[in-house]
Amino acid sequence: MDLNYTVEQIEFREEVRAWLADNVPSTPLESFDTKAGFEAHREWERTLASGNWGMVTWPTEYGGRGCDLIQWLIFEEEYYRAGAPLRVNQNGIFLLGPTLMEFGTPEQKARFLPAMASGEEIWAQGWSEPNAGSDMAAIRCRADRDGDDYVINGQKIWSTRAVYADWVFGLFRTDPSSERHRGLSKILLPLNSKGITVRPIPQLNGLPGFAEIFFDDVRVPVENVLGGEGEGWNIAMATAGFERGLMLRSPARFQQASKRLVELYRRNEEDVVDPAIEEAVLRCYMDAEAYALSTYQTASRLAAGGSIGAEASCNKIFWSQLDLQIHDTALQLLGARGEIEPETDEDKALLGNWLDGFLFAQSGPIYAGTNEIQRNIIAERVLGMPRK
């Protein structure tokens, strides 16, 4: 294995760095869980698209740059290093996008990918239902065929950013006589369709970061099915593989957070009395670097024709626990000060956004499939242990 970057990769990194230095907003944008913040992030997506940086791995005709996964990792490293805004369209570009690329028809790719890369259409994900979370095969939301349309009825829940998003992709039961994972289809539909009601749900920080979606005789054309009727479960598993195994949480996010943690430690070093904190800082730094190396290995394997399998579950447990560990250590370093939401610029400079990050990190072991479910998958499908 050659761990050195090629000349082309070094030049690519320099190009990304220079573009970001010229374009990243000098002050952080408002949270994308507010209306104003959401639109500010959409505007940032447009700026990215103006340089064809919307999703660098996509072909140029879809708004990308035809980069490979190693270049994508380099882009992400520079992106986080520059402190660029979080991606408001992450459900689209990191989850639906790769699935469309693999299973979409040419018409679907041309219709959806460019608008996704430019932020013109921002996507929500609609899988969970009140009685179908971990047990996703229990989905009951129905899409009944009626001529050239489906008619959708039912409810989704916990749909991230659905309050302000434009489109939703979800799993629906297209065969009414089917059970469990059979008879499901993945359908794409606009959130402003007649018969849809979106009801915000506040997250721990009080902002409406996710929503319930109610479907009441919503009509969707049959060409909005992705990957064929009844194929929804297989397609959803491919999306989950990208989500857990590679794209949703690139290592740069944690490398940058662990570097900020080291800086926080240095600023507070004289007050640290517990040697376990020093060790925890070191462990976070090392784990973030180890995660980066392991991701480079996954990207190389995919480039050589491999695929993401059940081991994506190990990945998901690792990054969600690392995020908890980084933020928990930061709050220990800050002590009581860490419990105050910074308001003035001076407080923000001193305290950073650790509390916000700490609150969000609590959800890491839940979203993208809970860590208990990932452990079941590892036991059965990686280690070959019996179900009971």
Active-site residue, selected from the candidate residues 121, 231, 243, 372: 243
- State the nearest-atom distance from the C-beta of 363 to ligand FAD, in Å: 4
Dihedral sign from CA coordinates of 252, 255, 257, 259: negative
Please name every residue paired with 190 in a beta bridge, in sequence order, or none if there are none.
Answer: 167
Determine the interface stretch with ligand FAD among 30-38, 154-162, 226-234, 265-273 (rule: CB under 6 A): 154-162
Beta carbons within 8 Å of 387's beta carbon, 6+ residues apart: 380
Compute the CA torsion angle 284, 84, 163, 137 (nearest 10 deg). -50
Taking the least distance from each CB to ligand FAD, the nearer of 69 and 187 is 187
Q: Which is nearer to ligand FAD, 234 or 294 (CB)?
A: 234
Q: Is 374 near ligand FAD (CB under 6 A)?
A: no
Nearer to ligand FAD, 64 or 369 (CB): 369
Three-state SS string across 167-234, please? EEEEEEECCCCCCCCCCEEEEEEECCCCCEEEEEECCCCCCCCEEEEEEEEEEEEHHHEECCCCCHHH
Site for ligand FAD in 259-318 (CB under 6 A): none
- Min. distance of Cβ 347 from ligand FAD in angstroms? 26
CB of 221 to ligand FAD, least distance (A): 23
Closest CB to ligand FAD among residues 133, 190: 133
Q: Contacting ligand FAD (CB under 6 A), which of 44, 62, 172, 210?
A: 210
Query: Cβ of residue 360: shortest distance to ligand FAD, in angstroms?
Result: 7
Residues that contact ligand FAD, how many (by CB under 6 A): 18
* Shortest Å distance, C-beta 258 to ligand FAD: 22
Q: What are phi and psi of 144, to 5 degrees?
A: -95, 130
Cα first-last separation, the chain: 40
The residue within the footprint of ligand FAD, chosen from 90, 99, 118, 159 (CB under 6 A), is 159
Measured between alpha carbons, how far is residue 198 from residues 15, 40, 90, 167, 187 in Å?
Answer: 41, 21, 20, 12, 17
Q: For ligand FAD, which residue of 372, 380, 381, 385 counts as binding (CB under 6 A)?
A: 372
179 is catalytic: no
The answer to whether 64 touches 72, Cβ cutoff 8 Å, is no
Identify whether the C-beta of residue 167 lies closer than 8 Å to the C-beta of residue 124: yes
Rounded Cα distance, 322 and 342, in Å: 24
Rounded Cα distance between 124 and 331, Å, is 31
Query: Which region, judged by CB under 6 A, interacts with ligand FAD, from 183-191, 220-228, 278-286, 367-375?
Result: 367-375
3-state class of 366 per DSSP?
coil
Q: How many CA atoms within 13 Å lie on the side-chain side of 200?
A: 13
- Of residues 336-365, which lie at the interface with ligand FAD (CB under 6 A)? 363
Give the C-alpha separation, 102 to 96, whole Å: 10
Binding of residue 367 to ligand FAD (CB under 6 A): yes
Amino acid at 285: Y
Task: Lay out the site mask for ligand FAD across 211-250 (x = CB under 6 A, - = otherwise).
Answer: ----------------------------------------
Binding map of ligand FAD across residues 97-136, x = CB under 6 A, - = no contact: ----------------------------xxxx----xx--
Judge whether 196 and 213 are in contact, CB under 8 Å. Answer: yes
Q: Which residue among 53, 112, 123, 158 contacts ligand FAD (CB under 6 A)?
A: 158
* Region binding ligand FAD by CB under 6 A among candidate stretches 95-103, 175-183, 256-264, 372-380: 372-380
Does 207 bind ligand FAD (CB under 6 A)? Our answer is: no
Nearer to ligand FAD, 134 or 297 (CB): 134
**Residue ranges that bind ligand FAD, judged by CB under 6 A:** 125-128, 133-134, 158-160, 210, 363, 366-367, 369-370, 372-373, 376
Which residues are identified as catalytic?
Answer: 243
